[in-house]
Structure 1
Amino acid sequence: MSKIIENPEQLILNKAKEILYNEGYTKFSMRNLSSKCGIALGTIYNYYSNKEELIINMMTDYWKEHFYILEDILNSDDTLYNKLNEIFNKLSIFIKTFKEVWLKPELYENPDCIKKSLEKQNIYIEKLVIMIEKILLKEEGNNKINLKLNSYETAKFILMNYITMVQMPVFKYSSFEIILKELL
């Protein structure tokens, strides 16, 4: 008698992440995943037609988890600059982990995989911009800031500087905040 698995797709994603994080991409195979999940290889292929599709879905899942954390910040009653600082801190952790796990050359042997992952990345960067924009609009609506640029452009400016500061940590967040206060 076959066993019933409550949420096989989530089991597959969780075990796949476990293998990727703990054993690396070279040990990551659909057959190994099937063994670790305790389910038939065919079942995995019912959800993911190939390893690249599964990798992209795992990456997407990683982004979604990060957005849940950011939503909490967005919905908090904290001040604008505390929210922005917290977003920067969470984004910093996210980017460092993302680079360690998801930006390995062996993950992108397939040009189609690169294209699809960049498309997903652009979608999530856009979501981050919109999230920051919501914070700015709320503060402007409460007359706490006066946006000199439109809210969307200001949010893009903030996010692109965050990403740059994480990737090239020669500029401190505290210095950026001073500039931001002048801008807003």
Structure 2
Amino acid sequence: MSRIIENPKQLILGKAKEILYNQGYRKLSMRSLSKECDIALGTIYNYYPTKKELVIEMMTDYWQNYLDTVEEIVNSDADMYIKLNNIFNELEVFIQNFRQYWLTTELYDSKEYVEGGLQKEYVFIEKLIIIIEAILMKEQANKNIHIKLGARETANFIIMNFITIVQMPLFKYESFEVFLKELLK
């Protein structure tokens, strides 16, 4: 008689992340995952027909966790600039971890991972821009800021600068915030 596994998809994703984070991409195989989950290899393939699909799902889950954290920040009672600073700080941690686990040569040697990962990345950056745009529009409606370039363009400007500051820390967030306050007054 077969046993019932509650939420096997989450079990598979969780164990796959453990293997990736602790042992690296090369050690992540459907067979090793089956062993770690203590479920049949066929069950793994039912949920994830290929390793690529599994890895892209893990990457998507990683991004979604970040966006969930951003939503918590947005829903807080903090001032807009504190929210933006908190979103930046979370993005900094997110990108550092992303580099460590997802931007490895063993993962990005394959063109299919690069294309699949980039498509997902663009979707999530777009979602992040929409979140920032909503913050800006709310603040403008409350007459706390004045948007000169349009909410969408300003949100895009903010996110692209966040990413640039994290990746090339020659410019400090605090300096960016001074410029942003000038831009939005």
Common fold: TM-score over 0.5: yes
Q: Distance in 1 between matches of 2:26 and 2:112?
A: 19
Code of the aligned partner of 2:118:
L
Moved over 3 A (4+): none
Cα distance, 1:36 vs. partner?
A: 0.1
Q: Tell me if 1:17 matches 2:34.
A: no
What is the CA RMSD across the aligned residues, in angstroms?
0.7
Q: What per-residue deviation string (whole Å, max 9, x for no partner) do you get for residues 130-180 of structure 1?
A: 011111011001000000110000000000000000000011111100000
* Corresponding residue for residue 59 of structure 2: 59
Alignment of 1:87-98 (within 5 A): 87-98=87-98
* Corresponding residue for residue 102 of structure 1: 102
* Corresponding residue for residue 119 of structure 2: 119
Q: Distance in 2 between matches of 1:164 and 1:153?
A: 16
Structure 1: 5+ residue stretches without partners: none
Q: Distance in 2 between matches of 1:99 and 1:170?
A: 18
Percent of matched pairs sharing the same residue:
60
Q: Distance in 2 between matches of 1:14 and 1:112?
A: 23
* Corresponding residue for residue 175 of structure 2: 175
* Corresponding residue for residue 48 of structure 1: 48
Normalized against structure 2, the TM-score is what? 0.98
* Corresponding residue for residue 69 of structure 2: 69
Structure 2: 5+ residue stretches without partners: none
Q: Distance in 1 between matches of 2:118 and 2:180?
A: 29
* Corresponding residue for residue 33 of structure 2: 33
Alignment of 1:123-134 (within 5 A): 123-134=123-134
Q: Aligned to 1:144, what secondary structure does the other structure show?
A: coil
Q: Distance in 1 between matches of 2:108 and 2:12?
A: 21
Q: Distance in 2 between matches of 1:94 and 1:43?
A: 31
Normalized against structure 1, the TM-score is what? 0.98
Cα distance, 1:3 vs. partner?
A: 1.5
